[in-house]
């Protein structure tokens, strides 16, 4: 379970994303332009990336960002942007009828990118954990 300050940080980040997303959806619906939907996708990624990165810097004793925290921030940002894009594509284009060809292409391309990033994240995490486990095992055998 997530500890108190960490949970509060995640709730603040989620509330900020939802308020920006909701405001952009309202403005997009009100003025019938897609610019606000684009802003909602980009702002979701930026808020998520810097939220996760900032949370990791606050929890560390040094100011340096390690590779693991950077991978977590990138993966979280891309996955959150993907969820927003799928939501916009699935629910907002319902009233317009069929999804435009450029939207289909964007969704397909972004699905590929998110799949690669998530696979890289889990693959590299498993590799690093296996390497650390092997190093710890060899250290205990040497003693």
SS3 assignment for 94-135: HHHCCCCHHHHHHHHHHHHHHHHHHHHHHHHHHHHHHHHHHH
Enclosing domain of residue 41: 4-142
Per-residue pLDDT of the chain (143 residues; tens, 9 = 90+): 444 456 777 788 888 888 888 888 788 778 877 778 788 888 888 888 888 888 777 766 666 777 778 888 888 888 888 888 877 776 665 555 566 677 778 778 888 888 888 888 888 878 888 888 888 887 777 66
Number of compact structural domains in the chain: 1
Centroid of chain to Cα 1: 20
What pTM was estimated for this model as a whole?
0.68
For 129, 135, 137, 138, the CA distances from 143, given in Å and listed in that order, are 21, 13, 10, 9
């Amino acid at each position: 379970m997530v500890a108190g300050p960490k949970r509060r940080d995640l709730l603040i980040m989620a509330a900020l994303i939802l308020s920006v997303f909701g405001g952009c959806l309202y403005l997009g619906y009100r003025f019938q332009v897609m610019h606000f939907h684009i802003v909602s996708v980009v702002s979701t990624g930026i808020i998520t990336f810097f939220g996760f990165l900032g949370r990791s810097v606050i929890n560390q004793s040094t100011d340096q960002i390690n590779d693991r925290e950077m991978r977590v921030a990138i993966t979280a940002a891309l996955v959150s942007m993907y969820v927003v894009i799928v939501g916009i594509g699935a629910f907002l284009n319902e009233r317009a009828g069929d999804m435009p060809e450029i939207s289909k292409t964007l969704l397909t391309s972004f699905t590929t990118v998110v799949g690669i990033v998530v696979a890289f994240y889990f693959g590299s995490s498993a590799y690093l954990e296996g390497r650390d486990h092997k190093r710890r095992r060899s250290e205990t055998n040497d003693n």
